[in-house]
């Protein structure tokens, strides 16, 4: 009688271990499928937020007003890089993403923001660009340089100052971080 009880008890433990292993395998399979999808959705959300940030910068620049006016924007960069390109008078945001935002190689417009997805080997490079070369001379701290602002846990304070017109009739905008 004691042998029969021990045999049943051992069988219960073996079944418990097998069912637990099956559950772990199922959870592993589910995570292996879900994790890339979750990453794509996070990238999509970051791109949407970055597009709104670019539109906010654009709106501030277009509504800056008279010479000497200054606006300070609080911008948060959770992923990717924001480039202030004083050489080409552009503001560019770049993000490496597993997902695609637009058809690779074809740009789309969202207001003044041009969105381009480029297929790289292991990821996609999503680029948001606003080109000010037609009417503005963009500078970073008074210089025609390319300044890259990387992701950070804290927000940046971006200062935009209207320094008036230059010899070519373009409005000179000086951007800096406070």
Q: Please give the pLDDT value at position 4.
A: 56
Q: What's the CA gap between 44 and 46, in Å, rounded?
A: 5
Structure tokens at 16: 């418990």
Task: Domain count for the chain, please give it.
Answer: 1
Mean pLDDT to the nearest integer, 15-40: 88
Q: Among 1-5, 8-12, 141-145, where is mean pLDDT lowest?
A: 1-5
Q: Please give the pLDDT value at position 83.
A: 94
Domain carrying residue 21: 2-177
The model's pLDDT over 45-101, given as tens digits with 9 standing for 90+, comes to 888 888 898 999 999 988 888 888 899 999 988 888 999 998 999 999 999 887 777
């Amino acid at each position: 009688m004691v042998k029969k009880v021990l045999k049943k008890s051992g069988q219960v433990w073996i079944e418990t271990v097998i069912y637990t292993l099956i559950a772990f395998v199922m959870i592993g399979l589910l995570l292996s499928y879900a994790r890339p999808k979750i990453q794509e959705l996070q990238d999509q959300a970051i791109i949407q937020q970055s597009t709104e940030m670019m539109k906010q910068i654009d709106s501030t620049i277009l509504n800056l007003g008279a010479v000497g006016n200054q606006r300070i924007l609080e911008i948060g960069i959770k992923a990717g890089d924001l480039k202030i390109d004083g050489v080409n008078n552009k503001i560019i945001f770049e993000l490496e993403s597993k997902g695609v935002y637009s058809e690779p190689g074809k740009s789309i417009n969202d207001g003044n923001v041009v969105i381009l997805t480029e297929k790289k080997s292991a990821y996609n490079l999503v680029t948001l660009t606003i080109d000010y070369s037609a009417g503005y001379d963009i500078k970073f701290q008074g210089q025609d340089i390319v300044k890259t602002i990387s992701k950070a846990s804290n927000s940046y304070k971006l200062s935009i100052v209207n320094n008036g017109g230059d010899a070519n009739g373009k409005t000179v905008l000086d951007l800096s971080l406070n």
